[in-house]
Amino acid sequence: MPAEEMEKMDTHHHDQPVEDTEIKDWKRKLVWSWIFTIPIAILMLSERLFGFALIEIPYSTIVILLLGFPVVFIFGWDTIKGGTRGLFTFYFNMDSLIALGTVIAYLTGIFSLGDVVLDYSGVSAMIMAFFTTGKYVEAVARGRASQEIKKLLELGAKSATVVRGSKEFTIPVSEVKIGDIIIVKPGEKIPTDGVVVKGESAVDESMVTGESLPNDKVKGGNVIGATINQDGILYVKATKVGKDTFLAHIIKLVEETQSEKIPIQKLADKITGVFVPTILVMAILTFANWWYFSQDLSRALGVGVAVLVIACPCALGLATPTALMVGSGMGAKRGILIRKGEAIQTMKEVKTVIFDKTGTITKGKPEVREIYSKAKENYMMEIAASLEKLSEHPLSKAIVNKANLKKYKKVTGFRVLRGRGVEGKIGKNEVIIGNTNLMKEKKISVKEFENKIQSFEENGYTTIIVSENHKAIGIMGIADAVKEDSLNAIFELKELGFRVVMLTGDNERTAKAIAEQVGINEVIANVLPEDKAKKVEALQLEGMVAFVGDGINDAPALKQSNVGIAMGSGSDIAIESGDIVLANGSLSGVVSAIKLSKATFSKIKQNLFWAFAYNIIAIPIAIGGLLHPVIAEIAMALSSITVVTNANLLRRKKI
């Protein structure tokens, strides 16, 4: 890795994205480079193309040197520094040719004042301006930096209400101590990991477990910081604070997997290591031969500079980013956002596609999937929805949504029976709605529904029983519904030869029921959030892996995988952790993303071929002294235009 990149990494902070800074930096250099280069181009072209000089020599040379100095040695200083360093460290990159060519060309302007050589100083500024433009395009194509760490930190609660003595205090979360009793009201985030010492409530832990249904918490239950309390007041004793909390642990995992994930080396970089030193040697030999045989230093320098310039890999530098930009634009129109260019190259090697369940294959919210009633179904749904409308529980909302009533019956004596169900009266009729445990507690027989309840459970449904006047009248099966396009998308992936696996924190029964619906044969269930990345790592031993997920608990796995595909309908942290983001949350986008990635990488390879083919043809012409450096520079620009045009042909590809 070049030293300047190491320096950037060492000084980088999470709140200052590297790519954001890089884009702004190259844009500034690009604008100022062309402000100084355009007058140089006008001075050069007026004399060479139209036969008259706007400023007489040697004054025009002095003006060009003054205008060219900031372009080459201020805006292009990082390139010059990085390129010339390679001469001493033998780490050659594309900057090496640019640095040597521009510096030598610039120096000819100084020596031309003493009539030693011809002036090619204007060419140096034009080369650097073109190169700077290419670097800006590349920086934009790479996209903006991941800010997942910053977003994770923002997930936690900012303050906590603690009880100390007989008083309540609102303090910053950073001041919470182990043993503090924290009051968490409905709708609030739980400030830190702890155990419930008083109160009952449902807590939305989907960010942690991936399960769409909330978990009921009673005295003695464990809670996790940053999860959301829903409908009851909880008194929580803090058991972990600061870096020991679950959220801090997830942050650490993301940081580790981020630093360990090494991008696949671009094809151009592999060749550049040999190409650049070869060109340097050829340029030196060309210069020496021409000087020896012609005894003309100016001519020899001109030919040597022409070789460096014509070999200048600007087209090579544009080959990848231009194709990426076109591919990214095509993807964006289809809801496929390519955040990391490396994913394009890596995708062609992927053998296994791993899917999270909740919010990825499924919609991520419960729906009434099946109803079985001994009474009239409309009547059962009417009394059930009338009671459930008074509850904030997601299962209650699913029942209300299914009933879709315009008018609800009046309910009296309504009570929430935590973790079991609800009860109340409609007129004189006593209505109890809940799970089998509640029915047993209330001594309500469900014998005639046993077979159906078993069937519901085998399908992975949460079973809700509706009773009236201590008699069960019907049951409902509630589950997270599969997205409409999941089956087709997974079938197409299997047809393309991919191994498809489901990885979820949900229980095995539910996971297998969902997997069966969409045609997935391999299921890994009951996986803790911190273990998801480890499971991905284990599967990577058998080949490259793409992971598709949407939850905060998926962030480490998205980073660990070779290609992370995040659902845009998911959490911000998952989106920021993904290499590719599917904005519309549709699984068909996974298939399109894979096709787009392969098409884009194919276009990158074509661009690289044309960039090198141009060099192979043009370099011998330059060595033969048949190319003036200015013509070489124009030819170099034309090669870049060819690459950009070829990249735009990608738009015709159907994905």
The neighbour count for residue 13, using CB atoms within 10 Å, is: 9
Give percent of the chain above pLDDT 70.
82
Q: Is 304 exposed, middle or buried (0-12, 13-18, 19+ CB in 10 A)?
A: buried
Return d(Cα 247, Cα 223) in angstroms, integer. Answer: 12
- Average pLDDT of the chain? 80
Q: Is the pLDDT of residue 61 over 90?
A: no
For 509-550, the pLDDT digits (tens) are: 878 888 988 999 999 988 877 788 999 999 999 999 999 988
- 3-class state of residue 161 by DSSP: strand
| Stated length of the chain | 655
User: What single string gives the DSSP state of each residue in 101-157?
Assistant: HHHHHHHHHHHHTTTSS---HHHHHHHHHHHHHHHHHHHHHH-SPP-HHHHHHHHS-
Token pair, residue 283, equals: 């340029």
Q: Specify the range with the lowest mean pLDDT, choosing from 4-8, 249-253, 360-364, 624-628.
A: 4-8
E strands within 199-302?
201-204, 215-217, 222-223, 228-229, 234-238
Query: What is the distance of C-alpha 163 from the center of its chain?
Result: 41
Cα–Cα separations (whole angstroms), residue 289 to 118, 213, 312: 18, 78, 21
Task: Quick: pLDDT tens for 243-282.
Answer: 888 777 666 655 554 443 334 335 566 666 777 788 888 8
CA dihedral over 483, 487, 493, 499, signed as positive or negative: positive
Report the pLDDT value the prediction gives residue 262, as an integer from 0 to 100.
32
Q: Regarding predicted confidence, which is higher, 473 or 640?
A: 473
Crossing angle between the packed helical segments 121-142 and 59-69, to the nearest 10 degrees: 20
Position 14 pLDDT exceeds 70: no
Q: What is the pLDDT of residue 316?
A: 66
Question: Is there a cis peptide before residue 58, judged by omega within 30 degrees of 0?
Answer: yes
Give residue for tokens 């309500």.
444
Higher pLDDT, 573 or 78: 78
d(CA 416, CA 260): 48
User: 403-427 burial by CB neighbour count: b if 16+ within 10 A, else e?
Assistant: beeeebbebeeeebbbbbbbbbebe
- Ranking 5-9, 410-414, 438-442 by mean pLDDT, the lowest is 5-9
Query: What SS3 string covers 467-528?
Result: EECCEEEEEEEEEEEECCCHHHHHHHHHHCCCEEEEECCCCHHHHHHHHHHHCCCEEECCCC
Question: Taking 70 as the threshold, does the pLDDT of residue 139 lie above it?
Answer: no
Query: To the nearest whole percent, how much of the chain has pLDDT over 90?
Result: 27
Q: How far is 55 from 400, CA to CA, in rounded Å?
A: 83
- Comparing 158-162, 246-250, 372-376, which segment has the lowest mean pLDDT? 246-250
Cα 485 to Cα 153: distance, rounded to the nearest angstrom = 34
Closest CA to 337 of 143, 94, 571: 143
pLDDT of residue 5: 40
What's the pLDDT tens digit per position in 170-191? 899 888 999 999 999 988 889 9
- Within the chain, what is the greatest distance between any pair of CA atoms? 115
- The packing angle between helices 297-310 and 629-648, to 10°, is 10
Query: How many CB atoms are closer than 10 A to CB 520?
Result: 22
Catalytic residues: 356
Tell me if residue 51 falls in helix, strand or coil.
coil
pLDDT at 294 over 70: yes
pLDDT reported for residue 15: 43
Instruction: With H, G, I as helix, E, B as strand and everything else as coil, classify residue 191.
Output: coil
Q: How far apart are CA 572 and CA 36, in angstroms?
A: 42
Question: Given a cut of 60, is residue 156 above it in pLDDT?
Answer: yes
**pLDDT the model gives residue 519:** 93
- Residue 146: its pLDDT value, please? 39
Checking DSSP bridges between strand 201-204 and strand 215-217, what pairing results, if any? antiparallel
Q: What pLDDT sits at residue 12? A: 42
Band of the pLDDT at 364, cuts 50, 70, 90?
Answer: confident
Q: State the pLDDT at residue 615.
A: 74
pLDDT of residue 8: 40
* SS3 track for 289-356: HHHHHHCCHHHHHHHHHHHHHHCCCHHHHHHHHHHHHHHHHHHHHCCEEECCCHHHHHHCCEEEEEEC
pLDDT of residue 260: 38
Determine which of 236-250, 457-471, 478-492 has the lowest per-residue pLDDT on average. 236-250
**What pLDDT score does 467 carry?**
95
Residue 465 has pLDDT above 80, yes or no: yes
Q: Where is pLDDT greater, at 414 or 333?
A: 414
pLDDT tens digits along 95-118: 777 787 788 888 888 888 877 667
* 331 or 433: which leads in pLDDT: 433
